[in-house]
Amino acid sequence: MMQRWMAVMGLAGLLLARPVQAAEMPPIPGDAMMVTHVKLAKLWNTPGMEPYRKNMAAAGEQVLKMLDQRFHPAPSSVQTVTVFLPKPAPMAERFEPNPVVIITTSKPMNAAKVARSYMHPEDVVEKTPGKMYTNDDGKFVLAFPDDRTVIAGETQQVLPLLAGTYPRKGPIADLLSTVGDADLIVGVNRMAIPELPPDLPPAMQTLMAMRTASLTMSVSKTSQIRLAMNYANGDAAEEAKQVGEQFLALGGQYLATLKGPLLKELLVPEPTEGSTISGLPMATGALVGLGAINTVLEWLESPLLKVNGSSLVFELDITDGDLSSVVAASGVAAGLMVPAVSKIREAAARTQSQNNLKQIGLALHNYHDANNSFPPAIVYDKNGKALYSWRVLILPYMEQEAIYRQFKLDEPWDSPNNKPLSDVAIKIFRTPTSKTSTPNTTGYRLIIGNVGEKKTDLWRPLFGDGKSRTRFANITDGTSNTIMVVETADEVPWAKPDEIVMKPGQPLPKFGGYYAGGFNALFGDGSVRFISEKVDARVLRLLIAADDGIPIPNID
């Protein structure tokens, strides 16, 4: 799945087109959930983008030519990009977005080179030379209807487009027939979207009750941005207008509050003394942000919402100068926000991983309550052959009893019966920032063996040698002082009997690998703590050992 997403997003990322003539929107299933169509070439050639064209041209013709030679299709030839999300399959247990991307170019493409660029070269299967390429399992396809068009996506979604058997009618088809020849089109079929969260605030439910919605932008000397949300009737549209006006007012109030910190950054008490160069990015970002906020607040002074029949319409006219300013402000602000966004994502992933570990800890405790001991790290048969991991035994305690009941406990994890079950992705076992594209792997593993500093030490981890069953009474160092499960980027299939084996005097392996600064660890009492990568190795050994009797320094 990750490989397919990378291919799709890589194709959609070719956004550097230079002047070519725009093309019509390609065929889209009329019942699609969402569609985006961008005439990149035309947008790039507008007067408002002239400063950016000049900036790129200043890099030199040789550099631009090399850029075209490195990437396929050539960035300068990209004409339009269309992305759509198919309608979710009925009765699907969960919605997994599988976008289809269609790119048109002004020059012929080398299909084989495009395929090797966006799929792993060793996985490329040439179905029809110059026309169709799939990955090794045939589920993802790159199709070339002609030498200037490439379609990328799930095979089951792409083939109907090629055969012309896709649904021609539907809400999206009706919507696209009303938006005209805009340069940017985003269409949403709200009726095809899975149900909204039941705890959504009433005001948001009113706004989101539309049947379809479209966002368009047409670029000329005065560009127009238009959002139309289409409801069941005029009364619903009027209710949505009232909610929308409240949101715009609140948004304006919030933007106004942001001006204070930005002005504080710019209006320093004694500017004549100068500041260090490290403060320049923040000051520049504050200046750009302040200008953008003032521009938006000026727009909000005008009535932007109106009801037209059963539609709520938002319209905004932007001059070339405003468009250029908005693009510049967005670019600089986005650049300055990259580190912050990255940290936010990492923090969210850390929190999700901690929640996973807490669920694993709860399952282990419930297993202990039912069996008077924790499960063995590895289950062996009577001949000493390793069969499967402890994770199989805790499945009934984490709402996965259906899989557990099908598992043959006297067979290995990869036996003909158990292998399909072992391939099932268990969300709680999956680390949020997994480094693998295989969905059944886990980075939550146990430590077994002996973590002593010297060969004469006997520092037993909580799960001992992996065969024994540990009870709470065996954890004499205290459950809050003993690590039970660690994160490690060295992932294994969750059912495989493969844990981290330690020997006395052996260097500790590198735990974590997902986040900067350390790793999450589940302790015997069910708590989860973030362990710094700078923690002393001896202290970490003591935290892993369950019954060494040595006091542990405070590591918080």
Summarised one tens digit per residue, pLDDT across range 342-384 is: 554 576 678 788 888 999 999 999 999 999 989 998 898 888 8
Q: Are 510 and 428 in contact (CB under 8 A)?
A: no
More confident of the two residues 414 and 71: 414
Q: Are 81 and 40 in contact (CB under 8 A)?
A: yes
At 180 the pLDDT is: 78
The whole-number average pLDDT for the span 189-214 is: 81
The whole-number average pLDDT for the span 261-277 is: 62
**CA–CA gap between residue 353 and residue 261 (Å, rounded):** 34
The whole-number average pLDDT for the span 82-88 is: 86
Strands (E), 190-270: 212-218, 222-230
Q: Are 482 and 475 in contact (CB under 8 A)?
A: yes
Summarised one tens digit per residue, pLDDT across range 431-458 is: 888 877 788 889 899 988 877 667 666 7
Residue from 156, 161, 137 nearest 82 by CA: 161
The amino acid that residue 118 corresponds to is: Y
Residue-averaged pLDDT of the chain: 79
Name the helix (H) or strand (E) containing 36.
strand 34-38
The amino acid that residue 266 corresponds to is: L
What's the pTM value of the predicted model, to 2 decimals?
A: 0.53
Name the helix (H) or strand (E) containing 491.
strand 483-493
**CA–CA gap between residue 109 and residue 74 (Å, rounded):** 8
Read out DSSP for 345-387? HHHHHHHHHHHHHHHHHHHHHHHHHHHSSPPPSEEE-TTS-EE
Lowest mean pLDDT among 60-74, 145-159, 189-203, 307-321: 189-203
At 243 the pLDDT is: 87
